[in-house]
Copies of this chain bind each other. A is one copy, B any other.
Amino acid sequence: MSADIIITNLFVFALAGFLGLEVIRRVPKLLHTPLMALTNALSAIALVGSLVILGHAATTYSIIMGFVAVVASTINVVGGFLLTDKMLRMFKRREPPAARTQPESSS
């Protein structure tokens, strides 16, 4: 693959990493467990790659590997999102709303 593509991808990686740092830093302690669950779901993005491998069904090996990969990552994605959602649905606040867990205003 041409070095240009590699470098562009490094650009993307660097920017995404920086962005990640900025947004994650703002997540309050309160939500750290849901955050772990969510990122856990995201970490199964390899699903995309798995689909390609399995979809091409090139060799028996690749089919087997791809199949396992798709199953595994699907478990991770589906389970992860359901779990996170289940958790978050539990978070309630007492009236009147207190401000301490609000994000700070945009100024």
Interface on A for B, CB 8 Å cutoff?
5, 8, 11-12, 15-16, 18-19, 22-23, 25, 28-29, 104, 106-107
Nearest CB on B from A30, distance (A): 10
* Copy total for this chain: 2
With A and B bound together, what is the CA distance between A81 and B104 in angstroms?
A: 29
Q: Let me know if B19 and A106 touch, CB within 8 A.
A: no
Closest Cβ neighbor of A13 among chain B residues: B15
User: Given the known A-B contacts A22-B23, A25-B106, A29-B107, are A8 and B12 also in contact in the complex, defined by CB atoms under 8 Å?
Assistant: yes
Dominant secondary structure of chain A at its interface with chain B: helix
Task: For the A-B complex with A8-B12, A11-B12 known, give 15 more contacts whose Cβ atoms are closer than 8 Å.
Answer: A5-B8, A8-B8, A12-B12, A12-B15, A15-B15, A15-B16, A15-B19, A19-B19, A19-B22, A22-B22, A22-B23, A25-B106, A28-B107, A29-B107, A104-B104
